[in-house]
Amino acid sequence: MVDQTIASLNVFEALHSTPARRYLSKKEIPNEIIWELLDAAIRAPSGGNSQGWNWIILKDQEKKNQISEWYREGWHLAYGKRRQAIMDRSDSSDTLGPRNYLSAEYLANHIQDAPIWIIGTLRNTSDSRNPRTGSSIYGAVQNLMLAARAYGIGSTLTTLYAGHEEDVKNLLGIPDDATTMALIPLGYPDKGKWSQPKRQAVEEVTYWDSWGNVNER
């Protein structure tokens, strides 16, 4: 293991301090660290231990620029048009809130500058109708982001490029049967904190024995 760990974190500290980090510097990430992150990612479970994942490390600026254009198209369709309503909190369907909106908007405009992207792909999924297909890679994606956090590297799971799935596959030579499941821009944070992600209280989303059956602590 490379000796560049800046934080000695226990598992719970990491779990409680890994929000999406979207303000990233251009500072390079050493390849040894990239290997460490991926070696942690692939320890995750997959159905039948199928390990159908492949990971594409993207540093090529032209390819990043091209995919960034597609990403921004997705951003505009999903969020850009709703900017005013989200910022003044009149969009009742919004779950991001103004602060996260601004950080996501920043990422949409600067994603090409993140020094490393990792794209996670899953084989034999392009015609899948199984609603649980992603469960065989998203554990690995989360492992990767937690391992990055231990090195002081910020990340965000993104999918807004996916309106151009076929274009991305063609650009990167991804086989027909595979699906891109996430694009993770990685970088040392420029701004923001390793703050605890804000979530609805756990008691409000947890049932015991039957749906709807709450149990106070």
Ligand X SMILES: Cc1cc2nc3c(=O)[nH]c(=O)nc-3n(C[C@H](O)[C@H](O)[C@H](O)COP(=O)(O)O)c2cc1C
Of 30-69, binders to ligand X (CB under 6 A) are: none
For the chain, the 3-state helix, strand and coil shares in percent, each to the nearest 5, are: 45, 10, 45
Identified binder of ligand X from the candidate list 9, 14, 15, 20, rule CB under 6 A: 20
- Residue 158 as a binder of ligand X (CB under 6 A): the answer is yes
Identified binder of ligand X from the candidate list 5, 51, 66, 100, rule CB under 6 A: 100
Least separation in angstroms between CB 162 and ligand X: 8
- Residue 157 as a binder of ligand X (CB under 6 A): the answer is yes
Write the burial class of residue 134 (CB in 10 Å: 0-12 exposed, 13-18 middle, 19+ buried). middle
Residue 48 CA from chain centroid, whole number: 24
**Cβ-contact 154, 27 below 8 angstroms:** no
Cβ partners under 8 Å of residue 60, min gap 6: none
Backbone angles phi, psi at 179, to 5 degrees: -125, 140
Q: Residue 32 or residue 166: which is nearer to ligand X going by CB? A: 166
Least separation in angstroms between CB 39 and ligand X: 23
197-216 footprint of ligand X as x/- string (CB under 6 A): xx------------------
Q: Note the residues at the interface with ligand X (CB under 6 A).
A: 19-20, 22, 96, 100, 104, 107, 156-160, 197-198
